[in-house]
């Protein structure tokens, strides 16, 4: 089968399109013929081996698994031992970020992580939902009308869906991203847009009730300065050298009525099913910039890593 493989950590130049063996499903696994696989920032992290936690999962000195791609939509092609509840030909979806394998014609995935794709969703839109949609839903949980909500990295897959959910909740939304996405973010409903290259939101004297940060780069003191009393900041990812001081240093600000920490996303079948239902109901809609073939994976990852993509890119083998 065709697959995009990596042999070492680094940039997109280390990826190559190759012929590899079709995998065989093990106990509790199903093999799927991949119909679509979304490109996520987590793929960029596993490609580059940075932040360091990507190496803790993916291999310390070199990648343990050669094929990236975790938000998979596929047709069930084979059943491993002990698998029940699936049949050949079923269309399924899920986030397999811990094992990956979606940038290929076939992938073996844990049956427990997969769920049927609703008929109302196309392969490409369904692939945008598991990881990015789960972050958006978890990151906007409990928002109240009138609350001031800031999304740092608002123009990506998770950010655009979080923007939709926040506006539906009645929040006042500030979107932070590069200037090239400013008008587009306003068209999606952002009440205010900040170009991070021109302005630093923590230095503006403004305060927000909730902040969702896709990639943490600031210390707890700067974050606390941008939070209202009783406010909460949650980081999705970032370098360990930033996240550790952020979480530990943030403990002191709890006594001052400000909550600073990591966003804990309960990834798995249940959350994927919930996000898929919300998409069918029209409560959440991925913004799909483009659908690309396997050969374009390196360029898709480069653009995702640089934050150039508006919404999501999807690979269709």
Query: pLDDT confidence of 217, banded at 50, 70, 90?
Result: very high
pLDDT score of 108 more than 80 = yes
Where are the CATH 3.90.180.10 domain residues in the chain? Answer: 2-128+286-315
Per residue in 16-34, pLDDT tens?
999 999 999 999 999 999 9
Q: Which of 62-71, 96-105, 173-182, 244-253 has the lowest mean pLDDT?
A: 244-253
pLDDT (0 to 100) of residue 257: 92
Which residues on neighbouring strands pair with residue 26, listed in sequence order? none
Rounded Cα distance, 99 and 65, in Å? 7
For the chain, the average pLDDT equals: 95
**% of the chain exceeding 70 in pLDDT:** 100
Nearest to 238 by CA among 263, 221, 271, 256: 263
Q: Which two tokens stand for residue 287?
A: 């913004």
**% of the chain exceeding 90 in pLDDT:** 90
pLDDT (0 to 100) of residue 51: 85
Rounded Cα distance, 85 and 296, in Å? 34
pLDDT score of 228 more than 90 = yes
Fold of 132-262: Rossmann fold (3.40.50)
pLDDT score of 134 more than 80 = yes
Query: pLDDT confidence of 239, banded at 50, 70, 90?
Result: confident
Q: Assess contact for 102 and 126: CB atoms under 8 A.
A: no
Fold of 2-128+286-315: Quinone Oxidoreductase; Chain A, domain 1 (3.90.180)
Per residue in 273-298, pLDDT tens?
999 999 999 999 999 999 999 999 99
pLDDT score of 99 more than 80 = yes
Compute the average pLDDT of residues 287-310: 96
pLDDT (0 to 100) of residue 268: 86
Look at the block and give the residue holding tokens 């959350």. Answer: 271
Rounded Cα distance, 168 and 314, in Å? 26
Report H helices in 111-233. Answer: 123-127, 130-139, 157-168, 182-187, 220-225
Where are the CATH 3.40.50.720 domain residues in the chain? Answer: 132-262
Which pTM value belongs to this model? 0.93
Look at the block and give the residue holding tokens 């990812």. Answer: 237
pLDDT (0 to 100) of residue 174: 98
């Amino acid at each position: 089968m065709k697959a995009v493989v990596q042999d070492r950590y680094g940039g997109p130049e280390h990826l190559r399109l190759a012929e590899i063996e079709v995998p065989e499903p093990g106990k509790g696994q199903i093999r799927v013929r991949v119909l679509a696989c979304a490109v996520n920032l987590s793929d960029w992290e596993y490609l580059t081996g940075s932040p360091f936690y990507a190496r803790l999962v993916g291999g310390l000195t070199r990648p343990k698994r050669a094929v990236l791609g975790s938000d998979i939509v596929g047709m069930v092609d084979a059943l491993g031992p002990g698998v029940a509840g699936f049949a050949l030909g079923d269309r399924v979806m899920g986030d397999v970020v811990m094992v990956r394998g979606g940038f290929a014609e076939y992938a073996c995935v844990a049956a427990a992580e997969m769920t049927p794709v609703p008929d109302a969703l196309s392969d490409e839109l369904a692939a945008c939902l598991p990881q990015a949609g789960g972050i958006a839903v978890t990151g906007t949980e409990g928002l109240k009308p009138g609350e001031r909500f800031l999304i740092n990295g608002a123009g990506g897959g998770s950010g655009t869906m979080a923007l939709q959910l926040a506006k539906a909740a009645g929040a006042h939304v500030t979107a932070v991203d590069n200037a090239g996405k400013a008008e587009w973010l306003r068209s999606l409903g952002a009440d205010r847009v900040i170009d991070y290259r021109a302005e630093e939101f923590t230095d503006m004297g403004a305060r927000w009730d909730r902040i969702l940060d896709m990639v943490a780069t600031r210390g707890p003191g700067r974050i606390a300065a941008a939070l209202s009393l009783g406010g909460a900041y949650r980081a999705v990812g970032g370098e360990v050298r930033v996240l550790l001081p952020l979480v530990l240093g943030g403990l002191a600000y709890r006594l001052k009525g400000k909550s600073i920490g990591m966003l804990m996303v309960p990834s798995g079948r249940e959350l994927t099913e919930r996000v898929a239902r919300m998409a069918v109901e029209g409560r959440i809609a991925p913004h799909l910039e483009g659908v690309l073939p396997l050969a374009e994976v390196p360029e898709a990852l480069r653009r995702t890593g640089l934050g150039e993509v508006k919404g999501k890119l999807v690979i269709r083998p």
